[in-house]
Structure 1
Amino acid sequence: MNYTPAQNRTVWVAQAGECSSTSDNISAEIPVALVYNGISHVVLMATPANIAELALGFSLSEGIIENAEQIYTIEITEHLHGVVAEIELASAAFARLKSRRRQISGRTGCGLCGIDSLAAVQPEIEPVLRDWHVEFSIIGRALTDFNHHQQLRAQTGSVHGVAWADKAGKIVTVREDIGRHNALDKLIGWGLHAKVDWKHGFVVLSSRASFEMVMKSAITGIGCIVAVSAPTTYAIDLAHKANITLVGFARHNRQVIYTHPQFFHP
Structure 2
Amino acid sequence: MTILHSFRRHARDSGDSESSRDVVEEAPVAIEVNGIGYAVMMATPADIGDFATGFALAERIVASAGEIEALDVHDTGRGTIVRLAVPPARAAAVMERVRRRTSDSSCGLCGMDNLDAVHRPLPRVPSSDVPAEAIFAALGAMRAHQPLHRTTGAAHAAMLCDAGGAVRLAREDVGRHNAFDKLIGAMARAGLGWDGGFALLSSRCSYELVEKAALAGCPMLVTVSAATSLALERAAAAGLTLVSLARDDAVLFSDPRVPEA
Which position in structure 2 is the counterpart of 1:55?
Answer: 52
Cα displacement (A) at 1:50: 0.5
Asked if 1:205 is matched to 2:201, the reply is yes
CA distance in 2 between counterparts of 1:70 and 1:13 reads 50
Q: For 1:26-65, what aligned pairs fall within 5 Å after superposition?
A: 26-65=23-62
Cα displacement (A) at 1:104: 6.1
**1:33-52 per-position Cα deviation (integer Å, ceiling 9, x unaligned):** 00011111000000010111
Q: Flag the 1:58–1:98 CA change in 2: closer, same or farther, 3 A.
A: same
1:41 match: secondary structure: strand
2:81 match: secondary structure: strand
Q: For 1:188-227, what aligned pairs fall within 5 Å after superposition?
A: 188-227=184-223
Cα displacement (A) at 1:20: 1.0
**8 Å contact from structure 2 (residues 73, 83) kept in 1:** yes
| Structure 2 portions without partners, runs of 5+ | none
Which position in structure 2 is the counterpart of 1:167?
Answer: 163
Amino acid of the structure 1 residue aligned with 2:173: D
- Which of 211, 224, 229 is the matching residue for 1:228? 224
Which position in structure 2 is the counterpart of 1:249?
Answer: 245
Asked if 1:117 is matched to 2:125, the reply is no
| Structure 1 portions without partners, runs of 5+ | 262-266
CA distance in 2 between counterparts of 1:150 and 1:90 reads 36
Asked if 1:11 is matched to 2:7, the reply is yes
**1:218-244 per-position Cα deviation (integer Å, ceiling 9, x unaligned):** 111111001110000100011111011
Q: Flag the 1:117–1:245 CA change in 2: closer, same or farther, 3 A.
A: same
Cα displacement (A) at 1:252: 2.5
Aligned pairs, number: 255
2:63 match: secondary structure: coil
Cα displacement (A) at 1:214: 0.3
**1:149-176 per-position Cα deviation (integer Å, ceiling 9, x unaligned):** 1000000001111111011110011111
**8 Å contact from structure 2 (residues 160, 194) kept in 1:** no
**What's the % identity of the aligned pairs?**
36
Asked if 1:149 is matched to 2:134, the reply is no
C-alpha root-mean-square deviation of aligned residues, in Å? Answer: 1.5
**8 Å contact from structure 1 (residues 44, 105) kept in 2:** no
Q: Which has the higher strand share?
A: 1
**1:198-232 per-position Cα deviation (integer Å, ceiling 9, x unaligned):** 35210001000000000111111111001110000
TM-score, normalised on structure 2? 0.93
Cα displacement (A) at 1:112: 2.2
TM-score, normalised on structure 1? 0.92
CA distance in 2 between counterparts of 1:112 and 1:77 reads 27
Which position in structure 2 is the counterpart of 1:135?
Answer: 131
CA distance in 2 between counterparts of 1:125 and 1:252 reads 31
1:140 match: secondary structure: helix
1:65 match: secondary structure: coil
CA distance in 2 between counterparts of 1:191 and 1:220 reads 10
**8 Å contact from structure 1 (residues 102, 115) kept in 2:** yes
Cα displacement (A) at 1:17: 5.3
